[in-house]
Structure 1
Amino acid sequence: MAKNKTTETEVDVFNFIESYADNDQKKADSHKLIELMSEWSGFEPKMWGPTIIGFGSYHYKYASGHEGDAPLLGFSPRKAQFSLYVYSQTEKSKKLLEDFGKFKMGKACIYVKKLSDIDIKILEKLCSETITYLNEHHECACRN
Protein backbone atom coordinates (compact mmCIF):
# COMPACT_ATOMS: atom_id res chain seq x y z
CA MET A 1 0.00 0.00 0.00
CA ALA A 2 1.27 3.48 -0.87
CA LYS A 3 2.51 5.70 1.94
CA ASN A 4 0.62 8.95 2.54
CA LYS A 5 2.54 12.03 1.42
CA THR A 6 0.64 14.45 3.64
CA THR A 7 1.73 13.65 7.16
CA GLU A 8 2.46 15.86 10.13
CA THR A 9 6.02 17.20 10.19
CA GLU A 10 8.22 19.10 12.64
CA VAL A 11 8.78 22.08 10.32
CA ASP A 12 8.13 25.43 12.04
CA VAL A 13 4.86 26.92 10.73
CA PHE A 14 5.94 30.54 11.10
CA ASN A 15 9.29 30.00 9.37
CA PHE A 16 7.39 28.28 6.56
CA ILE A 17 5.07 31.29 6.10
CA GLU A 18 7.97 33.72 6.03
CA SER A 19 9.85 31.71 3.43
CA TYR A 20 6.90 30.48 1.34
CA ALA A 21 4.27 33.25 1.22
CA ASP A 22 5.33 35.55 -1.60
CA ASN A 23 3.86 38.87 -0.43
CA ASP A 24 2.92 40.79 2.71
CA GLN A 25 -0.83 40.35 2.18
CA LYS A 26 -0.47 36.57 1.92
CA LYS A 27 1.68 36.54 5.07
CA ALA A 28 -0.83 38.68 7.00
CA ASP A 29 -3.76 36.53 5.84
CA SER A 30 -1.82 33.38 6.79
CA HIS A 31 -1.23 34.69 10.30
CA LYS A 32 -4.92 35.62 10.59
CA LEU A 33 -5.98 32.14 9.45
CA ILE A 34 -3.67 30.60 12.04
CA GLU A 35 -5.23 32.75 14.76
CA LEU A 36 -8.79 31.92 13.68
CA MET A 37 -8.35 28.21 12.99
CA SER A 38 -6.45 27.72 16.25
CA GLU A 39 -9.33 29.35 18.13
CA TRP A 40 -12.07 27.48 16.26
CA SER A 41 -10.40 24.05 16.39
CA GLY A 42 -8.72 24.27 19.79
CA PHE A 43 -5.45 23.04 18.23
CA GLU A 44 -2.12 24.67 17.51
CA PRO A 45 -0.90 24.80 13.90
CA LYS A 46 1.34 22.04 12.56
CA MET A 47 2.85 21.52 9.14
CA TRP A 48 1.37 18.65 7.15
CA GLY A 49 3.54 17.69 4.22
CA PRO A 50 5.60 20.47 2.68
CA THR A 51 2.91 23.18 2.29
CA ILE A 52 -0.24 22.55 4.38
CA ILE A 53 -0.80 24.16 7.77
CA GLY A 54 -3.17 21.92 9.71
CA PHE A 55 -5.03 21.99 13.01
CA GLY A 56 -5.84 18.81 14.94
CA SER A 57 -6.23 15.51 13.16
CA TYR A 58 -8.59 12.68 12.34
CA HIS A 59 -8.14 9.14 11.12
CA TYR A 60 -9.90 8.02 7.94
CA LYS A 61 -10.36 4.59 6.39
CA TYR A 62 -11.83 4.06 2.93
CA ALA A 63 -13.73 0.99 1.74
CA SER A 64 -10.68 0.21 -0.42
CA GLY A 65 -8.66 -0.32 2.75
CA HIS A 66 -6.61 2.86 2.29
CA GLU A 67 -6.32 4.73 5.57
CA GLY A 68 -4.39 7.56 7.14
CA ASP A 69 -4.49 10.74 9.15
CA ALA A 70 -5.36 14.26 8.01
CA PRO A 71 -5.82 17.65 9.68
CA LEU A 72 -9.31 18.60 10.90
CA LEU A 73 -8.89 22.04 9.36
CA GLY A 74 -6.10 23.41 7.24
CA PHE A 75 -4.88 25.77 4.59
CA SER A 76 -2.00 26.38 2.26
CA PRO A 77 -0.87 29.86 1.14
CA ARG A 78 -0.21 28.78 -2.44
CA LYS A 79 1.12 31.24 -5.00
CA ALA A 80 -2.09 31.91 -6.94
CA GLN A 81 -4.54 31.58 -4.04
CA PHE A 82 -5.16 30.01 -0.65
CA SER A 83 -6.31 26.42 -0.52
CA LEU A 84 -8.69 26.08 2.44
CA TYR A 85 -9.25 22.55 3.73
CA VAL A 86 -12.40 23.33 5.70
CA TYR A 87 -15.25 21.79 3.72
CA SER A 88 -17.41 18.75 4.34
CA GLN A 89 -20.04 17.50 1.89
CA THR A 90 -23.08 18.31 4.03
CA GLU A 91 -26.25 20.16 3.11
CA LYS A 92 -25.44 22.81 5.72
CA SER A 93 -21.98 23.40 4.21
CA LYS A 94 -23.43 23.66 0.69
CA LYS A 95 -25.96 26.23 1.93
CA LEU A 96 -23.25 28.25 3.73
CA LEU A 97 -21.30 28.63 0.49
CA GLU A 98 -24.17 30.64 -1.03
CA ASP A 99 -23.14 33.70 1.02
CA PHE A 100 -19.44 32.93 1.46
CA GLY A 101 -18.04 35.46 -0.99
CA LYS A 102 -15.59 35.16 -3.86
CA PHE A 103 -14.15 31.64 -4.12
CA LYS A 104 -13.69 28.61 -6.35
CA MET A 105 -14.46 25.07 -5.33
CA GLY A 106 -11.95 22.28 -5.85
CA LYS A 107 -12.39 18.56 -5.28
CA ALA A 108 -11.31 18.71 -1.64
CA CYS A 109 -10.81 22.38 -0.91
CA ILE A 110 -11.99 25.94 -1.36
CA TYR A 111 -9.76 28.40 -3.22
CA VAL A 112 -9.69 32.10 -2.24
CA LYS A 113 -7.30 34.85 -3.30
CA LYS A 114 -7.44 36.79 -0.02
CA LEU A 115 -9.41 36.80 3.21
CA SER A 116 -11.13 40.08 2.39
CA ASP A 117 -12.91 38.24 -0.47
CA ILE A 118 -14.87 36.02 1.94
CA ASP A 119 -17.15 36.30 4.97
CA ILE A 120 -15.12 35.24 8.02
CA LYS A 121 -18.26 34.44 10.04
CA ILE A 122 -19.30 31.96 7.36
CA LEU A 123 -15.77 30.52 7.28
CA GLU A 124 -16.13 29.91 11.02
CA LYS A 125 -19.46 28.12 10.45
CA LEU A 126 -17.93 26.00 7.67
CA CYS A 127 -15.07 25.03 9.99
CA SER A 128 -17.48 24.17 12.79
CA GLU A 129 -19.64 22.08 10.45
CA THR A 130 -16.55 20.22 9.21
CA ILE A 131 -15.33 19.45 12.73
CA THR A 132 -18.82 18.19 13.64
CA TYR A 133 -18.95 16.02 10.52
CA LEU A 134 -15.47 14.56 11.10
CA ASN A 135 -16.25 13.89 14.76
CA GLU A 136 -19.38 11.96 13.75
CA HIS A 137 -17.76 9.95 10.93
CA HIS A 138 -14.10 9.38 11.87
CA GLU A 139 -11.74 8.78 14.77
CA CYS A 140 -11.12 12.38 15.67
CA ALA A 141 -8.77 14.33 17.95
CA CYS A 142 -11.68 16.73 18.48
CA ARG A 143 -13.26 14.17 20.84
CA ASN A 144 -10.59 14.64 23.50
Structure 2
Amino acid sequence: MKPTGDDVAGLIARATPAIRRRDAETLTALMQEISGREPVTWGTIIGFGQCHYVYPTGTEGDTALLGFAPRKAATTIYLLDGADAHRDELAKLGPHTSSVSCVYIKDLEQIDLDVLRGILERSLAWAEAGGSEGMRLTVTG
Protein backbone atom coordinates (compact mmCIF):
# COMPACT_ATOMS: atom_id res chain seq x y z
CA MET A 1 0.00 0.00 0.00
CA LYS A 2 1.23 3.49 -0.78
CA PRO A 3 0.04 6.99 0.12
CA THR A 4 -2.32 8.26 -2.58
CA GLY A 5 -1.94 11.96 -1.80
CA ASP A 6 -5.66 12.66 -2.07
CA ASP A 7 -7.10 15.52 -0.04
CA VAL A 8 -7.65 14.46 3.60
CA ALA A 9 -10.34 17.10 4.15
CA GLY A 10 -12.14 15.90 1.02
CA LEU A 11 -12.06 12.29 2.20
CA ILE A 12 -13.53 13.33 5.53
CA ALA A 13 -16.17 15.51 3.84
CA ARG A 14 -17.33 12.54 1.72
CA ALA A 15 -17.67 10.20 4.71
CA THR A 16 -21.20 9.09 5.56
CA PRO A 17 -23.13 9.15 7.79
CA ALA A 18 -22.44 12.55 9.43
CA ILE A 19 -21.21 10.87 12.63
CA ARG A 20 -18.27 9.41 10.64
CA ARG A 21 -17.26 12.93 9.55
CA ARG A 22 -17.42 14.18 13.13
CA ASP A 23 -15.42 11.21 14.41
CA ALA A 24 -12.89 11.49 11.56
CA GLU A 25 -12.15 15.10 12.50
CA THR A 26 -11.63 14.10 16.14
CA LEU A 27 -9.41 11.12 15.24
CA THR A 28 -7.38 13.16 12.78
CA ALA A 29 -6.54 15.70 15.48
CA LEU A 30 -5.84 12.96 18.07
CA MET A 31 -3.58 10.86 15.84
CA GLN A 32 -1.75 13.93 14.56
CA GLU A 33 -1.07 15.02 18.14
CA ILE A 34 0.07 11.55 19.22
CA SER A 35 2.26 10.87 16.18
CA GLY A 36 3.56 14.38 15.50
CA ARG A 37 2.94 13.64 11.82
CA GLU A 38 0.62 15.15 9.23
CA PRO A 39 -2.35 13.11 7.96
CA VAL A 40 -1.96 11.50 4.53
CA THR A 41 -4.47 9.47 2.54
CA TRP A 42 -3.77 5.84 1.72
CA GLY A 43 -6.80 5.29 -0.51
CA THR A 44 -9.73 5.51 1.92
CA ILE A 45 -7.46 5.33 4.98
CA ILE A 46 -6.14 8.41 6.76
CA GLY A 47 -2.64 7.56 7.95
CA PHE A 48 0.07 9.16 10.07
CA GLY A 49 3.70 8.30 9.43
CA GLN A 50 4.93 5.43 7.31
CA CYS A 51 6.75 2.17 7.83
CA HIS A 52 7.98 -0.82 5.89
CA TYR A 53 6.98 -4.21 7.32
CA VAL A 54 8.40 -7.70 6.78
CA TYR A 55 6.79 -10.93 8.02
CA PRO A 56 8.86 -14.10 8.67
CA THR A 57 7.28 -15.56 5.51
CA GLY A 58 8.97 -12.85 3.46
CA THR A 59 5.76 -10.95 2.76
CA GLU A 60 6.49 -7.24 2.96
CA GLY A 61 4.99 -3.87 2.19
CA ASP A 62 4.37 -0.35 3.39
CA THR A 63 1.67 1.06 5.63
CA ALA A 64 0.89 3.92 7.99
CA LEU A 65 2.16 3.82 11.57
CA LEU A 66 -1.27 4.92 12.81
CA GLY A 67 -4.41 5.07 10.74
CA PHE A 68 -8.15 4.88 10.49
CA ALA A 69 -10.87 4.73 7.87
CA PRO A 70 -14.26 6.41 8.23
CA ARG A 71 -16.36 3.54 6.84
CA LYS A 72 -20.14 3.69 6.56
CA ALA A 73 -20.81 0.94 9.13
CA ALA A 74 -18.15 2.06 11.63
CA THR A 75 -14.85 3.86 11.88
CA THR A 76 -12.02 1.35 11.53
CA ILE A 77 -8.87 2.02 13.58
CA TYR A 78 -5.80 0.03 12.49
CA LEU A 79 -3.34 -1.27 15.12
CA LEU A 80 -0.07 -2.65 13.78
CA ASP A 81 0.58 -4.55 17.00
CA GLY A 82 -2.89 -6.13 16.88
CA ALA A 83 -5.99 -5.78 19.01
CA ASP A 84 -4.91 -8.62 21.34
CA ALA A 85 -1.99 -6.50 22.53
CA HIS A 86 -4.58 -4.13 24.02
CA ARG A 87 -7.11 -6.62 25.40
CA ASP A 88 -7.24 -5.10 28.91
CA GLU A 89 -7.53 -1.54 27.61
CA LEU A 90 -10.17 -2.50 25.04
CA ALA A 91 -12.30 -3.88 27.88
CA LYS A 92 -12.40 -0.30 29.27
CA LEU A 93 -12.81 1.50 25.93
CA GLY A 94 -16.56 1.52 25.54
CA PRO A 95 -18.80 0.12 22.79
CA HIS A 96 -16.68 -1.35 19.98
CA THR A 97 -15.87 -4.55 18.15
CA SER A 98 -12.47 -5.77 17.06
CA SER A 99 -10.68 -8.18 14.76
CA VAL A 100 -7.05 -9.25 14.53
CA SER A 101 -5.65 -5.77 13.86
CA CYS A 102 -8.68 -3.47 13.79
CA VAL A 103 -11.00 -1.77 16.25
CA TYR A 104 -14.43 -0.75 14.96
CA ILE A 105 -16.19 2.19 16.58
CA LYS A 106 -19.67 3.41 15.69
CA ASP A 107 -19.73 6.52 17.91
CA LEU A 108 -16.56 8.09 19.27
CA GLU A 109 -18.60 10.08 21.82
CA GLN A 110 -19.37 6.77 23.60
CA ILE A 111 -15.67 5.86 23.81
CA ASP A 112 -13.26 6.74 26.61
CA LEU A 113 -10.83 8.91 24.63
CA ASP A 114 -8.15 8.64 27.32
CA VAL A 115 -8.20 4.85 26.95
CA LEU A 116 -8.09 5.18 23.15
CA ARG A 117 -5.19 7.62 23.42
CA GLY A 118 -3.25 5.10 25.52
CA ILE A 119 -3.91 2.32 23.02
CA LEU A 120 -2.74 4.48 20.12
CA GLU A 121 0.36 5.68 22.00
CA ARG A 122 1.38 2.12 22.88
CA SER A 123 0.74 0.87 19.34
CA LEU A 124 2.84 3.69 17.88
CA ALA A 125 5.66 3.09 20.38
CA TRP A 126 5.65 -0.63 19.46
CA ALA A 127 5.88 0.23 15.76
CA GLU A 128 8.60 2.84 16.25
CA ALA A 129 10.61 0.29 18.27
CA GLY A 130 10.69 -2.03 15.26
CA GLY A 131 7.74 -4.34 15.88
CA SER A 132 8.46 -7.92 16.88
CA GLU A 133 9.69 -11.21 15.45
CA GLY A 134 6.20 -11.70 13.98
CA MET A 135 6.48 -8.44 12.04
CA ARG A 136 9.64 -6.39 11.70
CA LEU A 137 9.01 -2.70 11.08
CA THR A 138 11.23 0.08 9.82
CA VAL A 139 9.92 3.62 10.14
CA THR A 140 10.31 5.39 6.81
CA GLY A 141 8.34 8.57 7.42
Normalising by the smaller structure, the TM-score range is 0.7 to 0.9
Give the AA of the match of 1:13.
V
> Post-superposition shift, 1:29?
1.2
**Contact 2:74–2:106 (8 Å) recurs in 1:** yes
1:17-42 residue CA offsets vs partner (Å, 9 max, x unmatched):
112x1133221111111011100111
Task: Name the % identity.
Answer: 34
Task: Sort the Cα spacing of 1:87 and 1:61 in 2 relative to 1 into closer, same or farther, 3 A.
Answer: closer
Match of 1:77 in 2: 70
Give 1:5-24 correspondences, 5 Å limit: 6-19=1-14, 21-24=15-18
1:79-101 residue CA offsets vs partner (Å, 9 max, x unmatched):
11110113624876222112011
**Contact 1:84–1:111 (8 Å) recurs in 2:** yes
> Post-superposition shift, 1:130?
0.4
Partner SS for 2:53: strand
**Contact 1:74–1:84 (8 Å) recurs in 2:** yes
Gapped runs of 5+ residues in structure 2? 132-136
Aligned partners of 1:130 and 1:141: how far apart in 2? 16
Q: CA RMSD in A?
A: 1.8
Give 1:35-74 correspondences, 5 Å limit: 35-48=29-42, 50-74=43-67
Gapped runs of 5+ residues in structure 1? 1-5
**Contact 1:87–1:93 (8 Å) recurs in 2:** no
Aligned partners of 2:17 and 2:31: how far apart in 1? 21
Match of 2:88 in 1: 95
Match of 1:34 in 2: 28
Kindly indicate which of the two structures has a greater share of residues assigned to strand: 2
Aligned length: 135
**Contact 2:16–2:72 (8 Å) recurs in 1:** yes
The answer to which of 22-31 and 106-115 deviates more is 22-31
TM-score under structure 1 length normalisation = 0.86
TM-score under structure 2 length normalisation = 0.87
Task: Sort the Cα spacing of 1:33 and 1:80 in 2 relative to 1 into closer, same or farther, 3 A.
Answer: same
